[in-house]
Structures are given as structure tokens and as C-alpha cells.
Structure 1
């Protein structure tokens, strides 16, 4: 397996682990892959700066309004991974959450995310994350 393929697999594993942490209601697990000084922009334009803040905000959400929500932990819409350098990538992925017994994403919570990841020693870490609600495609 080439180094690039290994890197792509590691980045996909980060997305999978984030979804699993979401499903467990685990703010620390969700934030684990972020750099200490990472930025996170939520779907509604709120900015969280730093892994600890990202962790704390998500734990508050998991304990409150997003309690019991589930994220698809099998894939993130086959993320598009674009290498900027050997040590930095931009990832575009889709996702969403569901509530209750339904496994289908709540149509009001479908998102497209943009992530910047950087190699940090032997691992990859998230430097930035932006979550935007999905809209209908542009019409030409």
C-alpha cells in the first residue's frame, strides 16, 4: 500500500471515529483528532476555537439538544480527499444525524463538511472543520 493510500485510510478512520464518538455521546472522543488550536465552525456560523472548547460544546450538545442522535458511522459519503502537500489535505464530506429509531438522516440536518487536516508526527490531526447545511444544487 502506498503512503498516500495509508494517509487516506487514516483520514477516513478519523471520520469514522468521530461518528462513533458522536453516537456514544462522547465529546472528548469526538474532539480527540483536533489540534489543540483547531477551529470549528458550526452549521449556524458559531466559531469554537481550540480542542477543549470543541469538546466542551459537543458534550453539552450530546447531553442536551442532540442527546440520542446518531450519525452514520459506516461512511461519510465517500469523502473527497485532496492533498495540498504531503502533510496537508482538504477533505469534503457529507453527513447528517438522525433521531429515534430511524436510521435516515433528518432532512433538516444533512450537512456538507470541509476539513483541513495536517500531519502531526506520525498521525493526522484536524486543523479546521466547517459544517454547512446542505442545499439544493445550483441550477445552470
Structure 2
């Protein structure tokens, strides 16, 4: 399966609220790091955990996901970055959320997937304007 097809299938599965279809894009022993940093290991766990969020906090949500870039690592292994926008209609996560994902793909399956929420530097620093103006490497001096 191509990268474009995998991304399309992920969006389709998410928007259908189908954890098994989401997980079908992953290798049997894949690793998934979710947006709060939990590591999910294995296709079965990835599918089960996604079904939980599809049935609760992300019920009725709509995902748009697009390839940002990709490059070969070795042989048929690809490093792929995607960006996403998630619209959540109600509940504790209601609103619009942006994220970036890093994927390692081989033979049409995702081996590893890391999801990271995106925020403005001002938001991340809790609206501290002075801190937001600094390069993050300079934060230790503040």
C-alpha cells in the first residue's frame, strides 16, 4: 500500500469511528505513541484503544490528515511526517486540534507512529510573552 493510500485509509477509519479499520494500517507488532505520550504496542491494542476514544471523547470527530514529507531510510523503510486537523463536536475535547505525526512505514504497514499535538509557543508558555520570544534552548536561563 502506498503512503497516500495509508493516509487516506487512516482518515476514512477515523471518520467512520472504526478502531479495527484504523489498526489495519499497522504492522502486527507496531508501536503507537498517542498525543498524551502513552505507548500502545501491537495492532490489537492500537485498534482497541482507538475504538475507546472513537466511542467517547472523539465521538463524531472529523480528521483531515495530509503528508508533509517523506524520505527513504534504508531499503523499503520510509520516514513519513503528516499533519492533521481534528474537529471534535462536543465533550471534553470539543474544538479544533492540530497535530503532527511521525511514521515509519515498511511494505505498506505502519511500524511506528508518534502523534504530537501542535500549539503556539505563546500557548505552550501559558501566554508568557517574554518566554514565548525566547528560543526553547534558552528557556533554562529564565
Q: With structure 2 as the length reference, what TM-score do the two structures score?
A: 0.77
Residue 38 of structure 1 pairs with residue 22 of structure 2: no
SS of 2:37 mapped into structure 1: coil
SS of 1:45 mapped into structure 2: coil
Residue 16 of structure 1 pairs with residue 8 of structure 2: yes
Q: What pairs up with 1:97-136 in 2 under 5 angstroms?
A: 97-100=86-89, 106-107=95-96, 109-119=97-107, 124-136=108-120
How many Å apart are 1:12 and its aligned residue?
A: 1.3
Partners of 2:23 and 2:111 lie apart in 1 by 11
Residue 47 of structure 1 pairs with residue 31 of structure 2: no
Residue 91 of structure 1 pairs with residue 80 of structure 2: yes
Partners of 1:126 and 1:136 lie apart in 2 by 28
Distance 1:127 1:24, change over 3 A: same
Residue 56 of structure 1 pairs with residue 45 of structure 2: no
Answer whether contact 1:92 1:114 (CA < 8 A) is retained.
yes
How many Å apart are 1:48 and its aligned residue?
A: 0.4
Q: Deviations over 1:72-107 (max 9, x none)?
A: 2xx51x43011112310000111021023xxxxx44
Partners of 2:88 and 2:48 lie apart in 1 by 21
**Structure 1 unpaired stretches of 5+:** 1-6, 101-105
Partners of 1:114 and 1:93 lie apart in 2 by 7
SS of 1:79 mapped into structure 2: strand
Answer whether contact 1:21 1:29 (CA < 8 A) is retained.
yes
Greater Rg by CA: 2
How many Å apart are 1:139 and its aligned residue?
A: 6.4
The alignment of Structure 1 onto Structure 2 pairs a total of residues equal to 121
